[in-house]
């Protein structure tokens, strides 16, 4: 782990919603948890499309509100080039910390 990654991990608190995304060619799957690893809600399956990304962002917002979380951190393994569009949407949205 490098220094920058350690700094990002140190930002995780009890008020951080952690989202892990499994990247695939056509459909991604996301799960939400807290800093202890307690999972929230059902996994979110969404397509690698604008509509799919809107569904994903709405899912995050709902869980964030339900769990009364202040921050969101999204992590994913950069698989091929399939993660580029999702990363762009997350950066464009600007409400999330981003690990890849």
Does the residue 42 lie in any domain? Answer: yes
Is residue 32 classed as helix, strand or coil in its secondary structure? Answer: strand
Does the residue 5 lie in any domain? Answer: no
Strands of the sheet with 97-99, listed across from one edge: 39-47, 27-33, 16-22, 71-76, 97-99
How many domains does the chain contain in total?
1
Q: What is the pLDDT along the chain (100 residues), one digit of tens a residue?
A: 566 778 877 888 999 999 999 999 999 999 999 999 999 999 999 999 999 999 999 999 999 999 999 999 999 988 789 999 998 898 888 766 655 4
Range of the domain at 64: 18-99
Does the residue 54 lie in any domain? Answer: yes
């Amino acid at each position: 782990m490098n220094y920058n990654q350690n700094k990002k991990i140190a930002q995780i608190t009890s008020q951080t919603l952690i989202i892990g995304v499994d990247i695939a060619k056509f459909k991604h799957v996301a799960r939400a948890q807290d800093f202890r690893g307690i999972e929230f809600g059902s996994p979110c399956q969404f397509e690698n499309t604008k509509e799919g990304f809107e569904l994903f962002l709405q899912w995050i917002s709902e869980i964030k509100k339900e769990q009364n979380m202040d921050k969101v951190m999204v992590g994913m393994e950069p698989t091929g080039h399939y993660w580029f569009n999702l990363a762009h949407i997350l950066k464009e949205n600007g409400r999330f910390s981003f690990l890849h």
